[in-house]
Amino acid sequence: MNLARELDERLPSSVVQALRTVGVIAESLGMTAFVVGGFVRDLLLGTPTLDVDIVAEGDGTKLAQALARQWGGTVTLHERFLTATLHWAMGRWDVATARKERYPQPAALPEVEPATIADDLWRRDFSVNAMAICLSPDRFGELIDPTGGYGDLQKGIIRILHDGSFVDDPTRIFRAVRYEQRFGFRMDAKTLRLLYQARNESWLMRLSRDRIKHELWRTLQERDPTKPLWRLWQWGILRVVAPELRITKARLQWLKQIGEWLRWHQGHFPDEALQREWALLLSLLPTADAVMTFCQRYQLGEWERQSGSALLRALRSRLPKRPSGWVRKFNPLPLEVALALAARRSSVAKESWQRYFLEWRLTRPDITGEALRAHGIEGRAIAVGLQAALAAKLDENADAAEQLRVALRAARCFLRRSGLR
């Protein structure tokens, strides 16, 4: 089967051209190059990604360096795994040496040695991820599918490639659930049986915390994380790796809403970086103890701990009436917490939340501390005055002159009360 037409029709021509160049350069080095994995799967599904994974029969690190010379860009080498990452104008491309793997013990990282493309595909997680497209000039577009991935893709099946797959690498349990739910596929009977077995035998517990966290985070990065999370919960997997998470339909509904608020926010403020995964997870941590335990288990920092407890506190209190109250209450909190709150409470105050994020939280008074200093105000009274000016602007739409009057009154009152005047 040849996929040259699908490549041409479904991808930008610059990407296809670059893939052809990879084939030519590989050949000039005496190698054969392939594009593999999720790229091939998604191309066949008709939802192509630009996440390119190249595998070379030959030294992939040399190929990556040759490509960087051709195109410009930088190469990071991961010699132990015979792979390299090329950062160039089209993003981040992984270039690997076709290899075999051996697991010295379950759940450990594998030992690797160079091999053929077929060997490389057989070591992969599932048949639908184990296809390659040849990039050589005379075979460009040829599908390499030794494990029957194309058939499984058409039938909608997630299938492991050997019986020990989940034991060798229990992260595949999470991966299987993710793909199954993302594509609306199902696991074949044997894959499912072996997944249950690996779970029962608690192979999961042998994974390092970092690897489990990575899987949890990747699950949260799905377009709709509620589906795989529910599955992981139903199958008792979350109970093993994070028993403090509380998964209910209502909480997952909340998580979904947080996702929508995050997307909404991202649409308006694309440059404001947020801890997306953490914002979503907040909906699943029901108590201060749960926050603490989760943070300890996955070595999260003070910021996560504090934001978790801040959310729990804020959930117990009412929404403020005036815009200035919103600013006073929510501006000191991380934006992730405010978005999680919005998601929980938006049915009653959606418009206020939107105005808070778009407008109120970013509003500044039209006067500065200098203006107050010019009237003899000093120290903390300046902050008090500016806060009053902001409130007048937000709540009463006061102009700059009025804001100054209000600010001076508030500052003087503060000084009198604190006995400074």
Candidate residues 83, 127, 129, 181; the one interacting with ligand ATP per rule CB under 6 A: 129
Contact pick of 25, 34, 35, 37 for ligand ATP (by CB under 6 A): 37
Instruction: Give whichever of 163 and 378 is closer to ligand ATP, judged by the CB atom.
Output: 163
Secondary structure of the chain as H, E, C letters: CECHHHHHHHCCHHHHHHHHHHHHHHHHCCCEEEEECHHHHHHHHCCCCCCCEEEEECCHHHHHHHHHHHHCCEEEEEHHHCEEEEEECCEEEEEEECEEEECCCCCCCCEEEECCHHHHHHCCCEHHHCCEEECCHHHCCEEECCCCHHHHHHHCEECECCCCHHHHCCHHHHHHHHHHHHHCCEECHHHHHHHHHHHHCCHHHHCCHHHHHHHHHHHHCCCCCHHHHHHHHHCCHHHHHCCCCCCCHHHHHHHHHHHHHHHHHHHHCCCCCCCHHHHHHHHHCCCHHHHHHHHHHCCCCHHHHHHHHHHHHHHCCCCCCCHHHHHHHHCCCCHHHHHHHHHHHHHHHHHHHHHHHHCHHHCCCCCCHHHHHCCCCCCHHHHHHHHHHHHHHHHHCCCHHHHHHHHHHHHHHHHHHCCCC
Alpha-carbon span 296 to 300, nearest angstrom: 6
Q: Is 215 in the site for ligand ATP (CB under 6 A)?
A: no
Cβ closest to ligand ATP, residue 69 vs residue 102? 102
For ligand ATP, the nearest residue by Cβ is: 38
Minimum gap (Å) between residue 132 Cβ and ligand ATP? 9
- The region of 4-12, 125-133, 305-313, 330-338 touching ligand ATP under the rule CB under 6 A is 125-133
Residue 172 binds to ligand ATP (criterion: CB under 6 A): yes
CB of 143 to ligand ATP, least distance (A): 15
Check binding of 119 to ligand ATP (CB under 6 A): no
Task: Tell whether residue 227 is a contact of ligand ATP (CB under 6 A).
Answer: no
Binding piece for ligand ATP, criterion CB under 6 A, among 83-91, 124-132, 292-300, 302-310: 124-132
Minimum distance of ligand ATP from residue 83's CB (angstroms): 11
Contact flags string 244-283 toward ligand ATP, x per CB under 6 A: ----------------------------------------
Nearer to ligand ATP, 204 or 407 (CB): 204
Question: Is residue 171 a contact point for ligand ATP (CB under 6 A)?
Answer: yes
| Residue 38 makes contact with ligand ATP by CB under 6 A | yes
Instruction: Report how far residue 359's alpha carbon sits from residue 379's, in angstroms, rounded to the nearest whole number.
Output: 28
Cβ distance to ligand ATP smaller for residue 125 or 145? 125
Q: For residue 265, with 0-12 CB atoms within 10 Å meaning exposed, 13-18 middle and 19 or more buried, which class applies? A: buried
Q: Which of 31, 112, 117, 124 binds ligand ATP (CB under 6 A)?
A: 124
Which residues, numbered 130-169, are part of the site for ligand ATP (CB under 6 A)? 130, 169
User: Least CB distance from residue 114 to ligand ATP, whole Å?
Assistant: 17
Q: Closest approach of Cβ 220 to ligand ATP, in Å?
A: 13
Of residues 131 and 258, the one with the C-beta less far from ligand ATP:
131
Paired tokens of 82: 């015979």
| φ, ψ for residue 91, nearest 5 deg | 110, -145
User: How far is Cα 131 from Cα 175, in angstroms, rounded to an integer?
Assistant: 17
- 120 lies in the site for ligand ATP, by CB under 6 A: no
Q: Which 289-308 residues touch ligand ATP, going by CB under 6 A?
A: none
CB of 96 to ligand ATP, least distance (A): 9
Of the ranges 20-28, 122-130, 252-260, 307-315, which one interacts with ligand ATP (CB under 6 A)? 122-130
Q: How far is the CB of 276 from ligand ATP (least distance, A)?
A: 16
Q: Which of 51, 111, 163, 260 binds ligand ATP (CB under 6 A)?
A: 51
What distance in Å separates the CA atoms of residue 291 and residue 252, rounded to the nearest whole number?
17
Catalog residues that contact ligand ATP under the rule CB under 6 A.
37-38, 51, 53, 124-125, 129-130, 169, 171-172
